[in-house]
Chains A and B, each alone.
Chain A
Amino acid sequence: MSALAQAAGKPAASLTVAGAPRRVLLRRILRSRSLLIGGSIVLFVVLVAIFAPMLAPFDPDRIGSGRRLAVPGAKFLLGTDEFGRDILSRVIFGARYTLYIGVVAVGIGLVCGVAIGATAAYAGGWFGNLLMRIIDLLYTFPDVLIALGLVAFLGPNLTNAMIAVGISAIPYYARVTYGVVLSERQKPYVDAAQVVGAGHVRVLLRHLLPNVLPPMIVVASLGFSAAVLSAAALSFLGLGAQPPTPEWGLMLSTGRNYITRAPWLVVGPGIAIFVTVMAFNLFGDGLRDLLDPRQRQRTH
Protein backbone atom coordinates (compact mmCIF):
# COMPACT_ATOMS: atom_id res chain seq x y z
CA MET A 1 0.00 0.00 0.00
CA SER A 2 2.52 2.55 1.14
CA ALA A 3 4.73 1.87 -1.85
CA LEU A 4 1.87 2.38 -4.26
CA ALA A 5 0.65 5.44 -2.46
CA GLN A 6 4.14 6.84 -2.56
CA ALA A 7 4.48 6.07 -6.20
CA ALA A 8 1.19 7.48 -7.36
CA GLY A 9 -0.02 9.69 -4.56
CA LYS A 10 2.70 12.26 -4.46
CA PRO A 11 1.81 14.53 -7.35
CA ALA A 12 -1.89 14.30 -6.53
CA ALA A 13 -1.51 15.01 -2.83
CA SER A 14 0.13 18.35 -3.44
CA LEU A 15 -3.00 19.61 -5.21
CA THR A 16 -4.48 21.66 -2.41
CA VAL A 17 -7.27 24.08 -3.14
CA ALA A 18 -5.09 27.06 -2.41
CA GLY A 19 -2.45 25.94 -4.86
CA ALA A 20 -4.75 24.54 -7.51
CA PRO A 21 -5.37 26.47 -10.68
CA ARG A 22 -8.92 27.76 -11.00
CA ARG A 23 -9.71 25.32 -13.80
CA VAL A 24 -8.80 22.31 -11.66
CA LEU A 25 -10.90 23.65 -8.81
CA LEU A 26 -13.87 24.11 -11.10
CA ARG A 27 -13.51 20.59 -12.44
CA ARG A 28 -13.45 19.22 -8.94
CA ILE A 29 -16.57 21.18 -8.01
CA LEU A 30 -18.36 19.83 -11.07
CA ARG A 31 -17.23 16.31 -10.30
CA SER A 32 -18.52 16.44 -6.74
CA ARG A 33 -22.08 15.23 -7.15
CA SER A 34 -23.07 15.92 -3.56
CA LEU A 35 -21.81 19.49 -3.77
CA LEU A 36 -23.75 20.10 -6.99
CA ILE A 37 -27.01 18.51 -5.88
CA GLY A 38 -26.83 19.95 -2.37
CA GLY A 39 -25.82 23.37 -3.64
CA SER A 40 -28.61 23.60 -6.19
CA ILE A 41 -31.27 22.61 -3.68
CA VAL A 42 -29.91 25.11 -1.15
CA LEU A 43 -30.02 27.79 -3.84
CA PHE A 44 -33.57 26.74 -4.74
CA VAL A 45 -34.74 26.99 -1.12
CA VAL A 46 -33.11 30.41 -0.78
CA LEU A 47 -34.82 31.64 -3.95
CA VAL A 48 -38.18 30.25 -2.80
CA ALA A 49 -37.76 32.07 0.51
CA ILE A 50 -36.85 35.37 -1.19
CA PHE A 51 -39.62 35.26 -3.77
CA ALA A 52 -42.23 33.63 -1.52
CA PRO A 53 -44.86 36.37 -1.98
CA MET A 54 -44.61 36.00 -5.77
CA LEU A 55 -44.50 32.21 -5.80
CA ALA A 56 -47.23 31.48 -3.30
CA PRO A 57 -50.63 31.16 -5.01
CA PHE A 58 -52.48 32.25 -1.83
CA ASP A 59 -51.95 34.25 1.31
CA PRO A 60 -50.47 31.64 3.68
CA ASP A 61 -52.39 32.98 6.67
CA ARG A 62 -55.76 33.61 5.02
CA ILE A 63 -58.36 31.41 6.62
CA GLY A 64 -60.80 29.95 4.18
CA SER A 65 -58.81 30.28 0.98
CA GLY A 66 -60.64 27.09 0.23
CA ARG A 67 -62.72 24.41 1.86
CA ARG A 68 -61.38 22.96 5.14
CA LEU A 69 -59.15 19.91 4.61
CA ALA A 70 -59.54 19.99 0.85
CA VAL A 71 -57.86 17.09 -1.00
CA PRO A 72 -54.79 18.07 -3.08
CA GLY A 73 -55.91 19.00 -6.58
CA ALA A 74 -55.52 21.50 -9.37
CA LYS A 75 -56.35 24.55 -7.26
CA PHE A 76 -54.62 23.50 -4.05
CA LEU A 77 -51.63 21.43 -5.13
CA LEU A 78 -50.93 20.22 -1.60
CA GLY A 79 -54.48 20.55 -0.32
CA THR A 80 -55.74 22.79 2.46
CA ASP A 81 -55.44 22.57 6.22
CA GLU A 82 -57.97 22.58 9.04
CA PHE A 83 -58.64 26.30 8.53
CA GLY A 84 -58.88 26.07 4.77
CA ARG A 85 -55.45 27.65 4.28
CA ASP A 86 -53.45 26.65 1.22
CA ILE A 87 -50.72 24.24 2.35
CA LEU A 88 -48.43 24.93 -0.63
CA SER A 89 -48.40 28.65 0.16
CA ARG A 90 -47.66 27.90 3.79
CA VAL A 91 -44.82 25.54 2.84
CA ILE A 92 -43.38 28.24 0.53
CA PHE A 93 -43.49 30.88 3.27
CA GLY A 94 -42.17 28.28 5.71
CA ALA A 95 -38.87 28.35 3.81
CA ARG A 96 -38.38 31.88 5.12
CA TYR A 97 -38.78 30.78 8.72
CA THR A 98 -36.52 27.80 8.26
CA LEU A 99 -33.68 29.84 6.77
CA TYR A 100 -34.18 32.57 9.35
CA ILE A 101 -34.05 30.06 12.21
CA GLY A 102 -31.02 28.35 10.69
CA VAL A 103 -29.09 31.58 10.18
CA VAL A 104 -29.81 32.91 13.67
CA ALA A 105 -29.11 29.60 15.43
CA VAL A 106 -25.93 28.91 13.47
CA GLY A 107 -24.89 32.53 13.98
CA ILE A 108 -25.23 32.27 17.76
CA GLY A 109 -23.54 28.88 17.91
CA LEU A 110 -20.74 29.80 15.54
CA VAL A 111 -19.87 33.15 17.10
CA CYS A 112 -19.84 31.80 20.66
CA GLY A 113 -18.29 28.47 19.69
CA VAL A 114 -15.49 29.98 17.63
CA ALA A 115 -14.79 32.54 20.35
CA ILE A 116 -14.58 29.87 23.05
CA GLY A 117 -12.68 27.33 20.94
CA ALA A 118 -10.19 29.85 19.58
CA THR A 119 -9.60 31.38 23.00
CA ALA A 120 -9.04 27.97 24.57
CA ALA A 121 -6.65 26.89 21.84
CA TYR A 122 -4.78 30.18 21.71
CA ALA A 123 -4.55 30.70 25.46
CA GLY A 124 -3.74 27.07 26.22
CA GLY A 125 -2.54 26.29 29.75
CA TRP A 126 -4.91 25.48 32.57
CA PHE A 127 -7.44 28.04 31.39
CA GLY A 128 -7.73 26.61 27.88
CA ASN A 129 -7.86 23.13 29.33
CA LEU A 130 -10.61 23.95 31.76
CA LEU A 131 -12.64 25.66 29.07
CA MET A 132 -12.43 22.65 26.78
CA ARG A 133 -13.20 20.23 29.62
CA ILE A 134 -16.49 22.05 30.20
CA ILE A 135 -17.19 22.07 26.46
CA ASP A 136 -16.43 18.34 26.22
CA LEU A 137 -18.77 17.76 29.12
CA LEU A 138 -21.61 19.61 27.43
CA TYR A 139 -20.84 17.80 24.19
CA THR A 140 -21.71 14.45 25.76
CA PHE A 141 -25.31 15.59 26.12
CA PRO A 142 -27.60 15.52 23.10
CA ASP A 143 -28.29 18.98 21.71
CA VAL A 144 -32.04 18.34 21.88
CA LEU A 145 -31.80 17.86 25.64
CA ILE A 146 -29.85 21.10 26.10
CA ALA A 147 -32.21 23.03 23.81
CA LEU A 148 -35.22 21.54 25.57
CA GLY A 149 -33.90 22.47 28.98
CA LEU A 150 -33.23 26.05 27.91
CA VAL A 151 -36.59 26.52 26.21
CA ALA A 152 -38.39 25.04 29.21
CA PHE A 153 -37.05 27.78 31.45
CA LEU A 154 -36.78 30.67 28.98
CA GLY A 155 -40.35 30.05 27.88
CA PRO A 156 -41.57 28.38 24.70
CA ASN A 157 -41.56 30.67 21.67
CA LEU A 158 -39.75 30.93 18.35
CA THR A 159 -37.10 33.41 19.50
CA ASN A 160 -36.20 31.36 22.54
CA ALA A 161 -36.17 28.18 20.46
CA MET A 162 -33.66 29.76 18.06
CA ILE A 163 -31.49 30.91 20.96
CA ALA A 164 -31.69 27.51 22.61
CA VAL A 165 -30.81 25.65 19.43
CA GLY A 166 -27.94 28.05 18.86
CA ILE A 167 -26.57 27.62 22.37
CA SER A 168 -26.97 23.83 22.26
CA ALA A 169 -24.61 23.73 19.26
CA ILE A 170 -21.85 25.81 20.87
CA PRO A 171 -19.90 22.76 22.10
CA TYR A 172 -19.81 21.38 18.57
CA TYR A 173 -18.42 24.56 17.01
CA ALA A 174 -16.06 25.13 19.93
CA ARG A 175 -14.54 21.66 19.60
CA VAL A 176 -13.95 21.93 15.88
CA THR A 177 -12.48 25.43 16.23
CA TYR A 178 -10.27 24.29 19.07
CA GLY A 179 -8.88 21.43 17.00
CA VAL A 180 -8.24 23.54 13.93
CA VAL A 181 -6.74 26.52 15.75
CA LEU A 182 -4.55 24.27 17.86
CA SER A 183 -3.03 22.60 14.81
CA GLU A 184 -2.62 25.94 13.01
CA ARG A 185 -1.10 27.55 16.07
CA GLN A 186 1.74 25.05 16.09
CA LYS A 187 2.75 26.04 12.59
CA PRO A 188 5.79 28.31 12.30
CA TYR A 189 4.02 31.25 10.66
CA VAL A 190 2.20 32.02 13.91
CA ASP A 191 5.45 32.20 15.84
CA ALA A 192 6.94 34.24 13.05
CA ALA A 193 4.11 36.75 13.24
CA GLN A 194 4.55 37.02 16.99
CA VAL A 195 8.29 37.49 16.68
CA VAL A 196 7.74 40.30 14.22
CA GLY A 197 5.64 41.86 16.93
CA ALA A 198 2.05 41.30 15.92
CA GLY A 199 -0.37 41.49 18.86
CA HIS A 200 -2.50 38.56 19.95
CA VAL A 201 -5.69 39.88 18.42
CA ARG A 202 -3.87 40.64 15.20
CA VAL A 203 -2.38 37.16 15.03
CA LEU A 204 -5.80 35.66 15.65
CA LEU A 205 -7.61 37.77 13.08
CA ARG A 206 -5.02 38.20 10.35
CA HIS A 207 -3.15 34.93 10.44
CA LEU A 208 -5.24 32.26 12.11
CA LEU A 209 -8.69 33.18 10.89
CA PRO A 210 -8.03 32.79 7.15
CA ASN A 211 -6.73 29.27 7.78
CA VAL A 212 -9.53 28.40 10.13
CA LEU A 213 -12.23 29.70 7.83
CA PRO A 214 -12.50 26.88 5.25
CA PRO A 215 -13.16 24.12 7.80
CA MET A 216 -15.58 26.43 9.61
CA ILE A 217 -17.63 26.94 6.44
CA VAL A 218 -18.02 23.18 6.20
CA VAL A 219 -18.94 22.91 9.85
CA ALA A 220 -21.45 25.75 9.54
CA SER A 221 -23.14 24.06 6.61
CA LEU A 222 -23.48 20.78 8.48
CA GLY A 223 -24.48 22.67 11.61
CA PHE A 224 -27.16 24.49 9.64
CA SER A 225 -28.91 21.22 8.84
CA ALA A 226 -28.70 20.14 12.47
CA ALA A 227 -30.12 23.49 13.62
CA VAL A 228 -33.04 23.29 11.19
CA LEU A 229 -33.78 19.78 12.38
CA SER A 230 -33.63 20.69 16.08
CA ALA A 231 -35.72 23.83 15.67
CA ALA A 232 -38.36 21.94 13.71
CA ALA A 233 -38.42 19.30 16.43
CA LEU A 234 -38.95 21.97 19.10
CA SER A 235 -41.77 23.51 17.08
CA PHE A 236 -43.25 20.05 16.58
CA LEU A 237 -43.22 19.59 20.36
CA GLY A 238 -45.01 22.92 20.76
CA LEU A 239 -41.92 24.63 22.20
CA GLY A 240 -40.93 26.73 19.21
CA ALA A 241 -42.96 28.63 16.66
CA GLN A 242 -46.53 29.26 17.79
CA PRO A 243 -49.68 29.24 15.64
CA PRO A 244 -50.49 30.60 13.14
CA THR A 245 -46.83 30.80 12.00
CA PRO A 246 -46.35 28.77 8.82
CA GLU A 247 -43.35 26.94 10.27
CA TRP A 248 -42.82 23.42 8.93
CA GLY A 249 -42.38 21.66 12.28
CA LEU A 250 -45.43 23.37 13.71
CA MET A 251 -47.47 22.49 10.60
CA LEU A 252 -46.62 18.83 11.16
CA SER A 253 -47.58 19.14 14.80
CA THR A 254 -51.06 20.48 14.09
CA GLY A 255 -51.43 18.33 10.98
CA ARG A 256 -50.97 15.08 12.86
CA ASN A 257 -54.30 15.63 14.61
CA TYR A 258 -55.96 15.15 11.23
CA ILE A 259 -53.72 12.33 10.03
CA THR A 260 -56.60 9.88 9.64
CA ARG A 261 -58.81 12.22 7.65
CA ALA A 262 -56.27 14.37 5.84
CA PRO A 263 -52.83 12.74 5.66
CA TRP A 264 -51.64 15.38 3.14
CA LEU A 265 -51.29 17.79 6.02
CA VAL A 266 -48.19 15.95 7.19
CA VAL A 267 -46.65 15.12 3.81
CA GLY A 268 -45.71 18.49 2.30
CA PRO A 269 -44.06 20.18 5.31
CA GLY A 270 -42.22 16.97 6.20
CA ILE A 271 -40.74 16.59 2.74
CA ALA A 272 -39.76 20.26 2.86
CA ILE A 273 -37.77 19.76 6.09
CA PHE A 274 -36.27 16.50 4.85
CA VAL A 275 -35.11 17.88 1.51
CA THR A 276 -33.76 21.13 2.98
CA VAL A 277 -31.81 19.35 5.71
CA MET A 278 -30.47 16.82 3.22
CA ALA A 279 -29.40 19.60 0.85
CA PHE A 280 -27.34 21.27 3.57
CA ASN A 281 -25.84 17.94 4.58
CA LEU A 282 -24.86 17.10 1.00
CA PHE A 283 -23.53 20.59 0.48
CA GLY A 284 -21.45 20.39 3.65
CA ASP A 285 -20.14 16.90 2.82
CA GLY A 286 -19.19 17.95 -0.68
CA LEU A 287 -17.56 21.11 0.54
CA ARG A 288 -15.54 19.19 3.09
CA ASP A 289 -14.25 16.77 0.48
CA LEU A 290 -13.37 19.69 -1.75
CA LEU A 291 -11.68 21.91 0.81
CA ASP A 292 -9.96 19.42 3.02
CA PRO A 293 -10.25 15.69 2.38
CA ARG A 294 -8.27 14.99 5.55
CA GLN A 295 -11.06 16.55 7.62
CA ARG A 296 -13.39 13.68 6.77
CA GLN A 297 -12.66 11.85 9.96
CA ARG A 298 -12.70 14.78 12.30
CA THR A 299 -16.13 16.16 11.53
CA HIS A 300 -17.70 12.92 10.27
Chain B
Amino acid sequence: MTRFIMRRLLAALVTLLISSFLVCMLIHLIPGDPVAMMMAQNSAPSPEQLAAMRHMLGLDLPLWQQYFHYMGRVLTGDLGRSIFGSEPVLALLMERLPNTFALAFSGLAIAVGLGMPLGFLAAYHKGSWADAALMAFAVAGVSVPNFWLGLMLVLLFSMTLGWLPVAGEDWRSIILPALTLGVTYMAIIARMTRSAMIEVFSEDFIRTARAKGLPESLVMFRHALRPAMISVVTIIGVVFGYLMGGAIVVENVFSWNGLGRLAIQAINYRDYPLIQGFILLFATIIVIMSVLLDIAYAWLDPRISVA
Protein backbone atom coordinates (compact mmCIF):
# COMPACT_ATOMS: atom_id res chain seq x y z
CA MET B 1 0.00 0.00 0.00
CA THR B 2 2.78 2.42 0.91
CA ARG B 3 4.43 1.70 -2.40
CA PHE B 4 1.19 2.33 -4.22
CA ILE B 5 0.71 5.67 -2.48
CA MET B 6 4.34 6.67 -3.02
CA ARG B 7 3.97 5.95 -6.70
CA ARG B 8 0.81 8.03 -6.86
CA LEU B 9 2.46 10.91 -5.02
CA LEU B 10 5.36 10.82 -7.43
CA ALA B 11 2.97 10.84 -10.39
CA ALA B 12 1.12 13.78 -8.84
CA LEU B 13 4.38 15.67 -8.46
CA VAL B 14 5.23 15.09 -12.12
CA THR B 15 1.75 16.24 -13.08
CA LEU B 16 2.20 19.43 -11.11
CA LEU B 17 5.63 20.08 -12.63
CA ILE B 18 4.33 19.67 -16.16
CA SER B 19 1.22 21.76 -15.53
CA SER B 20 3.31 24.51 -13.96
CA PHE B 21 5.49 24.44 -17.06
CA LEU B 22 2.43 24.80 -19.29
CA VAL B 23 1.06 27.60 -17.12
CA CYS B 24 4.41 29.38 -17.30
CA MET B 25 4.42 29.10 -21.09
CA LEU B 26 0.84 30.40 -21.42
CA ILE B 27 2.18 33.91 -21.39
CA HIS B 28 3.63 33.37 -24.84
CA LEU B 29 0.17 32.76 -26.26
CA ILE B 30 -0.57 36.44 -25.85
CA PRO B 31 -0.59 37.90 -29.33
CA GLY B 32 2.16 40.49 -29.85
CA ASP B 33 4.35 41.64 -26.98
CA PRO B 34 2.86 40.25 -23.76
CA VAL B 35 4.40 42.92 -21.60
CA ALA B 36 3.10 45.71 -23.77
CA MET B 37 -0.33 44.05 -23.64
CA MET B 38 -0.17 43.77 -19.88
CA MET B 39 0.72 47.38 -19.47
CA ALA B 40 -1.62 48.65 -22.16
CA GLN B 41 -3.97 49.94 -19.48
CA ASN B 42 -1.32 52.31 -18.20
CA SER B 43 -1.14 55.26 -20.51
CA ALA B 44 1.81 54.59 -22.84
CA PRO B 45 4.40 52.85 -20.64
CA SER B 46 7.97 54.06 -21.10
CA PRO B 47 10.61 51.67 -22.48
CA GLU B 48 12.16 51.60 -18.99
CA GLN B 49 8.86 50.59 -17.42
CA LEU B 50 8.46 47.84 -20.04
CA ALA B 51 11.97 46.57 -19.41
CA ALA B 52 11.43 46.54 -15.65
CA MET B 53 8.21 44.58 -16.05
CA ARG B 54 9.88 42.17 -18.44
CA HIS B 55 12.64 41.61 -15.95
CA MET B 56 10.24 41.11 -13.07
CA LEU B 57 8.42 38.41 -15.02
CA GLY B 58 11.70 36.88 -16.12
CA LEU B 59 10.71 37.31 -19.75
CA ASP B 60 14.14 38.67 -20.63
CA LEU B 61 15.63 35.23 -19.93
CA PRO B 62 16.00 32.38 -22.46
CA LEU B 63 12.89 30.23 -22.68
CA TRP B 64 14.15 27.29 -20.62
CA GLN B 65 15.38 29.59 -17.88
CA GLN B 66 12.03 31.32 -17.68
CA TYR B 67 10.54 28.19 -16.22
CA PHE B 68 13.17 27.93 -13.49
CA HIS B 69 12.72 31.58 -12.75
CA TYR B 70 8.97 31.03 -12.49
CA MET B 71 9.24 27.87 -10.41
CA GLY B 72 11.80 29.51 -8.15
CA ARG B 73 9.24 32.15 -7.35
CA VAL B 74 6.31 29.74 -7.09
CA LEU B 75 8.12 27.46 -4.65
CA THR B 76 8.76 30.35 -2.30
CA GLY B 77 5.06 31.15 -2.41
CA ASP B 78 5.49 34.12 -4.71
CA LEU B 79 2.93 33.98 -7.47
CA GLY B 80 3.66 37.54 -8.44
CA ARG B 81 1.53 40.58 -7.94
CA SER B 82 -1.79 41.43 -9.45
CA ILE B 83 -1.32 44.03 -12.16
CA PHE B 84 -4.34 45.82 -10.78
CA GLY B 85 -4.30 46.74 -7.14
CA SER B 86 -0.81 45.21 -6.99
CA GLU B 87 -1.72 42.84 -4.17
CA PRO B 88 0.13 39.52 -3.98
CA VAL B 89 -1.65 36.99 -6.21
CA LEU B 90 -1.41 34.27 -3.57
CA ALA B 91 -3.20 36.40 -0.97
CA LEU B 92 -5.98 37.26 -3.44
CA LEU B 93 -6.46 33.60 -4.30
CA MET B 94 -6.39 32.38 -0.70
CA GLU B 95 -8.99 34.95 0.24
CA ARG B 96 -11.43 33.42 -2.26
CA LEU B 97 -10.48 29.76 -1.83
CA PRO B 98 -12.80 28.98 1.13
CA ASN B 99 -15.82 30.22 -0.81
CA THR B 100 -15.02 28.02 -3.78
CA PHE B 101 -14.44 25.03 -1.52
CA ALA B 102 -17.74 25.61 0.26
CA LEU B 103 -19.56 25.68 -3.06
CA ALA B 104 -17.70 22.78 -4.66
CA PHE B 105 -18.03 20.44 -1.70
CA SER B 106 -21.68 21.17 -1.07
CA GLY B 107 -22.26 20.57 -4.77
CA LEU B 108 -20.30 17.32 -4.54
CA ALA B 109 -22.26 16.29 -1.45
CA ILE B 110 -25.54 16.79 -3.32
CA ALA B 111 -24.23 15.00 -6.40
CA VAL B 112 -22.85 12.00 -4.51
CA GLY B 113 -25.51 11.91 -1.79
CA LEU B 114 -28.36 11.75 -4.30
CA GLY B 115 -26.64 10.34 -7.37
CA MET B 116 -25.28 7.17 -5.78
CA PRO B 117 -28.52 5.93 -4.17
CA LEU B 118 -30.44 6.76 -7.35
CA GLY B 119 -27.93 4.88 -9.49
CA PHE B 120 -28.07 1.93 -7.10
CA LEU B 121 -31.88 1.80 -7.20
CA ALA B 122 -31.93 2.09 -10.98
CA ALA B 123 -29.47 -0.79 -11.30
CA TYR B 124 -31.41 -2.94 -8.83
CA HIS B 125 -34.67 -2.33 -10.66
CA LYS B 126 -33.02 -2.45 -14.05
CA GLY B 127 -35.57 -2.26 -16.86
CA SER B 128 -38.35 -0.80 -14.71
CA TRP B 129 -40.07 2.52 -15.45
CA ALA B 130 -38.14 4.11 -12.57
CA ASP B 131 -34.89 3.03 -14.22
CA ALA B 132 -36.02 4.45 -17.55
CA ALA B 133 -37.05 7.72 -15.90
CA LEU B 134 -33.74 8.01 -14.11
CA MET B 135 -31.79 7.37 -17.27
CA ALA B 136 -33.81 10.02 -19.10
CA PHE B 137 -33.10 12.37 -16.23
CA ALA B 138 -29.42 11.50 -16.45
CA VAL B 139 -29.29 12.41 -20.15
CA ALA B 140 -31.07 15.67 -19.35
CA GLY B 141 -28.63 16.30 -16.50
CA VAL B 142 -25.53 16.00 -18.65
CA SER B 143 -27.14 18.12 -21.36
CA VAL B 144 -28.43 21.07 -19.37
CA PRO B 145 -26.10 24.09 -19.38
CA ASN B 146 -25.42 24.74 -15.70
CA PHE B 147 -25.50 28.52 -16.15
CA TRP B 148 -28.97 28.29 -17.61
CA LEU B 149 -30.15 25.85 -14.93
CA GLY B 150 -28.91 28.36 -12.36
CA LEU B 151 -30.92 31.16 -13.94
CA MET B 152 -34.02 28.94 -14.07
CA LEU B 153 -33.65 28.00 -10.39
CA VAL B 154 -33.33 31.68 -9.52
CA LEU B 155 -36.43 32.41 -11.56
CA LEU B 156 -38.36 29.65 -9.79
CA PHE B 157 -37.18 29.68 -6.18
CA SER B 158 -36.22 33.31 -5.67
CA MET B 159 -38.44 35.30 -7.94
CA THR B 160 -41.61 33.27 -8.33
CA LEU B 161 -41.75 31.41 -5.04
CA GLY B 162 -39.60 33.80 -3.02
CA TRP B 163 -38.16 30.96 -0.95
CA LEU B 164 -34.46 31.49 -1.33
CA PRO B 165 -32.16 34.47 -1.68
CA VAL B 166 -30.05 34.84 -4.82
CA ALA B 167 -27.09 36.29 -3.00
CA GLY B 168 -26.12 37.67 0.35
CA GLU B 169 -24.31 36.76 3.53
CA ASP B 170 -27.05 34.41 4.69
CA TRP B 171 -26.07 30.70 4.72
CA ARG B 172 -29.09 30.03 2.57
CA SER B 173 -27.44 31.87 -0.30
CA ILE B 174 -25.34 28.77 -0.97
CA ILE B 175 -28.37 26.54 -1.57
CA LEU B 176 -29.14 27.59 -5.13
CA PRO B 177 -25.57 27.60 -6.44
CA ALA B 178 -24.83 24.27 -4.75
CA LEU B 179 -28.02 22.80 -6.14
CA THR B 180 -27.20 24.05 -9.64
CA LEU B 181 -23.77 22.51 -9.44
CA GLY B 182 -24.96 19.33 -7.73
CA VAL B 183 -27.86 18.45 -10.02
CA THR B 184 -25.76 18.38 -13.19
CA TYR B 185 -23.11 16.12 -11.72
CA MET B 186 -25.64 14.06 -9.82
CA ALA B 187 -26.88 12.86 -13.20
CA ILE B 188 -23.41 11.71 -14.20
CA ILE B 189 -22.79 9.99 -10.87
CA ALA B 190 -26.18 8.26 -10.99
CA ARG B 191 -25.51 7.00 -14.48
CA MET B 192 -22.02 5.76 -13.69
CA THR B 193 -23.09 4.21 -10.38
CA ARG B 194 -25.83 2.39 -12.22
CA SER B 195 -23.49 0.81 -14.72
CA ALA B 196 -20.96 -0.02 -11.98
CA MET B 197 -23.70 -1.72 -9.95
CA ILE B 198 -25.05 -3.62 -12.94
CA GLU B 199 -21.56 -4.93 -13.56
CA VAL B 200 -21.16 -6.00 -9.94
CA PHE B 201 -24.60 -7.63 -9.88
CA SER B 202 -23.54 -9.91 -12.71
CA GLU B 203 -20.37 -11.03 -10.93
CA ASP B 204 -19.96 -14.66 -9.99
CA PHE B 205 -19.36 -13.80 -6.34
CA ILE B 206 -22.82 -12.26 -6.03
CA ARG B 207 -24.25 -15.56 -7.22
CA THR B 208 -22.07 -17.32 -4.64
CA ALA B 209 -23.43 -15.07 -1.90
CA ARG B 210 -26.98 -15.85 -2.96
CA ALA B 211 -26.15 -19.56 -3.14
CA LYS B 212 -25.12 -19.37 0.50
CA GLY B 213 -28.69 -18.42 1.28
CA LEU B 214 -27.83 -14.96 2.56
CA PRO B 215 -30.78 -12.57 2.74
CA GLU B 216 -30.92 -10.10 -0.13
CA SER B 217 -30.08 -7.12 2.09
CA LEU B 218 -26.82 -8.77 3.13
CA VAL B 219 -26.01 -9.70 -0.46
CA MET B 220 -26.51 -6.08 -1.49
CA PHE B 221 -24.86 -4.23 1.35
CA ARG B 222 -22.01 -6.59 2.17
CA HIS B 223 -21.23 -8.21 -1.16
CA ALA B 224 -22.30 -5.76 -3.86
CA LEU B 225 -21.90 -2.31 -2.38
CA ARG B 226 -18.28 -2.47 -1.37
CA PRO B 227 -16.86 -3.63 -4.73
CA ALA B 228 -19.11 -1.08 -6.41
CA MET B 229 -17.78 1.62 -4.08
CA ILE B 230 -14.36 1.02 -5.57
CA SER B 231 -15.55 2.04 -9.00
CA VAL B 232 -17.66 4.85 -7.55
CA VAL B 233 -14.56 6.36 -5.95
CA THR B 234 -12.95 6.41 -9.38
CA ILE B 235 -16.10 8.05 -10.72
CA ILE B 236 -15.98 10.73 -8.03
CA GLY B 237 -12.39 11.41 -9.00
CA VAL B 238 -13.38 12.07 -12.59
CA VAL B 239 -16.44 14.07 -11.62
CA PHE B 240 -14.64 16.25 -9.08
CA GLY B 241 -12.43 17.85 -11.72
CA TYR B 242 -15.40 18.61 -13.91
CA LEU B 243 -17.36 19.86 -10.94
CA MET B 244 -14.57 22.31 -10.14
CA GLY B 245 -14.76 23.48 -13.75
CA GLY B 246 -18.52 23.84 -13.39
CA ALA B 247 -17.99 25.86 -10.21
CA ILE B 248 -16.13 28.52 -12.21
CA VAL B 249 -19.24 29.07 -14.32
CA VAL B 250 -21.80 28.74 -11.52
CA GLU B 251 -19.95 31.24 -9.33
CA ASN B 252 -20.41 33.79 -12.08
CA VAL B 253 -24.13 33.07 -12.37
CA PHE B 254 -24.72 33.71 -8.67
CA SER B 255 -22.01 36.33 -8.13
CA TRP B 256 -20.50 33.90 -5.66
CA ASN B 257 -17.28 35.42 -4.43
CA GLY B 258 -14.97 32.53 -5.21
CA LEU B 259 -12.01 31.79 -7.43
CA GLY B 260 -14.09 31.42 -10.58
CA ARG B 261 -15.48 34.91 -10.30
CA LEU B 262 -12.04 36.27 -9.54
CA ALA B 263 -10.70 34.48 -12.62
CA ILE B 264 -13.23 36.06 -14.95
CA GLN B 265 -12.53 39.49 -13.50
CA ALA B 266 -8.82 38.85 -13.99
CA ILE B 267 -9.37 37.81 -17.60
CA ASN B 268 -11.43 40.90 -18.30
CA TYR B 269 -8.69 43.11 -16.88
CA ARG B 270 -5.94 41.08 -18.57
CA ASP B 271 -4.38 40.53 -15.17
CA TYR B 272 -2.08 37.78 -16.42
CA PRO B 273 -0.15 36.96 -13.21
CA LEU B 274 -3.47 36.50 -11.44
CA ILE B 275 -4.80 34.22 -14.20
CA GLN B 276 -1.62 32.14 -14.09
CA GLY B 277 -1.89 31.85 -10.33
CA PHE B 278 -5.54 30.86 -10.59
CA ILE B 279 -4.86 28.07 -13.09
CA LEU B 280 -1.92 26.77 -11.09
CA LEU B 281 -3.95 26.72 -7.87
CA PHE B 282 -6.89 25.02 -9.59
CA ALA B 283 -4.62 22.38 -11.07
CA THR B 284 -3.03 21.79 -7.66
CA ILE B 285 -6.41 21.34 -5.99
CA ILE B 286 -7.49 18.81 -8.61
CA VAL B 287 -4.23 16.89 -8.34
CA ILE B 288 -4.39 16.79 -4.53
CA MET B 289 -7.97 15.62 -4.66
CA SER B 290 -7.09 12.84 -7.07
CA VAL B 291 -4.28 11.67 -4.75
CA LEU B 292 -6.73 11.62 -1.83
CA LEU B 293 -9.16 9.57 -3.89
CA ASP B 294 -6.38 7.19 -4.87
CA ILE B 295 -5.69 6.62 -1.19
CA ALA B 296 -9.39 5.99 -0.56
CA TYR B 297 -9.36 3.59 -3.48
CA ALA B 298 -6.37 1.71 -2.13
CA TRP B 299 -7.98 1.54 1.27
CA LEU B 300 -11.19 0.10 -0.15
CA ASP B 301 -9.53 -2.48 -2.38
CA PRO B 302 -7.69 -5.22 -0.48
CA ARG B 303 -5.92 -6.20 -3.69
CA ILE B 304 -3.94 -2.99 -3.23
CA SER B 305 -4.02 -2.40 0.52
CA VAL B 306 -3.05 -6.01 1.32
CA ALA B 307 -0.09 -6.33 -0.96
Binary contact track A146-190/B, C-beta < 8 Å → 1, others 0: 001111111110000000000000000000000000000000000
Q: Would A237 and B252 count as touching, CB distance under 8 A?
A: yes
Q: Which of the segments A6-14, A136-144, A212-220 contacts the partner chain? A: A136-144
Contacting pair B282 A300 (CB below 8 A) = no
The interface residues of chain B lying within 8 Å CB-to-CB of A256 are: 151, 253
In angstroms, Cα B227 to Cα A149, docked, is 38
Alpha-carbon distance between A243 and B275 when the two chains are bound, in angstroms: 24
Question: Quick check: B279 and A149 within 8 Å, CB to CB?
Answer: yes
Q: How far is the CA of A238 from the CA of B191 in the complex (A)?
A: 32
**Any chain A CB within 8 A of the CB of B119?**
no
Binary interface profile of B, 238-252, with partner A (CB < 8 Å = 1, else 0)?
Answer: 000110111011001
Residue of B nearest to A278 (CB): B143
Interface size class of A (residues with CB under 8 A): 35 or more
Report if B161 contacts A (CB, 8 A).
no
Quick one: which of B132-188 are within 8 Å of A by CB? 139-140, 142-148, 151-152, 154-155, 159
Measured CA separation A150–B267 after assembly (Å): 11
Contact of A270 among B29, B151, B283 (CB under 8 A): B151
- A-B pair count, CB < 8 Å, reads 134
B106 on the A face (CB < 8 A): no
In the complex, what residues of B have CB within 8 A of residue A236's CB? 145, 147, 249, 252
CA distance A154 to B31 in the complex (A): 6
Whether the Cβ atoms of B143 and A277 lie closer than 8 Å is yes
CB–CB B143/A274 < 8 A: yes
**Neighbouring B residues of A273 by C-beta, 8 Å:** 145, 148
Chain B, Cβ-Cβ closest to A271? B148
Interface residues of A (CB under 8 A from B): 1, 34, 134, 137, 140-145, 148-156, 225, 229, 232-233, 236-239, 249, 252, 256, 259-260, 263, 266, 269-270, 273-274, 277-278, 281-282, 285, 296-297, 300
13 A–B contacts from the bound complex (CB under 8 Å): A134-B18, A137-B19, A140-B241, A142-B244, A144-B248, A150-B26, A154-B30, A233-B145, A236-B147, A237-B249, A239-B267, A259-B159, A274-B144
